Amino acid sequence: MKRRFSEIGDFGYMPTEKIKRRRLSEENEEEKSKKKIRRSLEEHLPDECWRREEWIKFDSYEGESVLPVPEAEAPKPNPLSVTSYTFHSVLGRGSFGKVMLATFGQKQHVAIKYMRKTCESSYSSILTEAHVLKVARDSPFLCQGYAAFQTQWHALFVMEFLSGGSLENELKRYGKLDKERVVFHSGEVICGLQFLHSRRIIHRDIKPANILLDQEGHVRISDFGLAKQNLFADSTTTGLAGTLEYMAPEILQNEEYDAAVDWWSFGITICQMATGETPFHKTDDKELIKAITMDKPIIPGWLDKDLRSLLRKLLKKNPTQRLGVRGGIRSHRFYKSINWKELEEKGATPPFQPAKPSVELYKIYSGKPLSFLKSQMDEITSKDGNIIAGFSFLGSTLQK
């Protein structure tokens, strides 16, 4: 039988069987070499370098080891830096500044309110708003504050984005709301107001524009820029604050006042929800002030009798006689259909679910450069003065 030869060795052609044995021996030696190199690397490199087996590769021909550098994790965005947010649409504006829809990191939508720090006299109200936003985290009926931070010239509040819009927008769209919605929405506002008052805080600017809806149709009281805190027991405060149409008589008459002013504003708001109008119809400011302080509220006769009763008790000129001041508002006949325990736990199904916002709302802002945003970028690393001590905070929501 002829022997097969296939390769030339040191002494000529080698038999095929011998070639196979030689190759097997070489492969065994190569594998031993690889294991030796791996053991050596494992002894000198940290454990994280070995989480993926493919990080160590060996060239089967050259016998050299290759150790690719592990990819570094992308740094987490800083919730207290304006550069961590992508800005979209303007949600609201006023004398305070703007509220803008923004995205934190890659996906979390938030509302950012910015205020210019004009002078030290404004620091107190800015600090109060930050404090109330922190307190609000304990109530499902108050707009949640996620964070607050500042640059040299601006204070910024990061809050939950409530995509259902405001009751003011609902009134513009529908004119007025049906009784079921008035009962439900005002019931949740009562829960929010009573929570604030239990924390010795008065809002001072309750109105449809400051009552927002989430996507399910639950309300949140928002905008604590005029809030007053630390009102203990029977203490009172002074000062013109609020929106004229919703101001209580005692504010307009420069008298001392307490949480009763919120119940007055609440009454005006309910009347507007149910009728589409406030109960004092004057276009001139002076005439409006006179009507609020002296005239009886205009309550249409076609309204539900229980609602008419509720409005008359909320719109008492004498704040000590006003419903809500000493409790009892939950037991009023207008709210007889409400299970308050279920409502407080948000177990009740809202009678109305807002439409989803237009996709246009989420488009990255590409219009005229926003001057306030540009200034934030310029000032974010400023080490100068004009810093409000104790202002910044970060809740757990943006840390996840």
Q: Are strands 154-160 and 145-150 parallel, antiparallel or unpaired?
A: antiparallel
Which one, of 229, 243, 250, lies nearest residue 278 by Cα?
A: 243
Which residue's entry shows tokens 């030869």? 5
Note whether 111 and 189 are within 8 A (CB). no
Determine the straight-line distance between the first and last CA of the chain, rounded to whole angstroms.
77
Close Cβ partners of 344 (under 8 Å, ≥ 6 residues apart): 191
CA distance 63 to 202: 77
Angle at alpha carbon of residue 42, lines to 36 and 44, rounded to 5° = 110
CA distance 165 to 157: 18
Q: Which of 47, 138, 178, 205 is catalytic?
A: 205
Which one, of 283, 278, 280, lies nearest residue 291 by Cα?
A: 280
Round the CA-based radius of gyration of the chain to a whole number and report it. Answer: 34
Which one, of 141, 117, 135, lies nearest residue 193 by Cα?
A: 141
Q: What's the number of CA atoms in the CB half-sphere (13 Å) around residue 280?
A: 26
Our answer to whether residue 205 is catalytic in this structure is yes
Cα four-point dihedral sign 281, 351, 340, 309: positive
290 assigned to a ligand binding site = no
Which one, of 336, 266, 268, 304, lies nearest residue 178 by Cα?
A: 304
Q: Which helix (H) or strand (E) holds 60?
A: none
Catalytic positions: 205
Residue ranges for the known binding site are 113
Residue ranges for the known binding site for ATP are 113
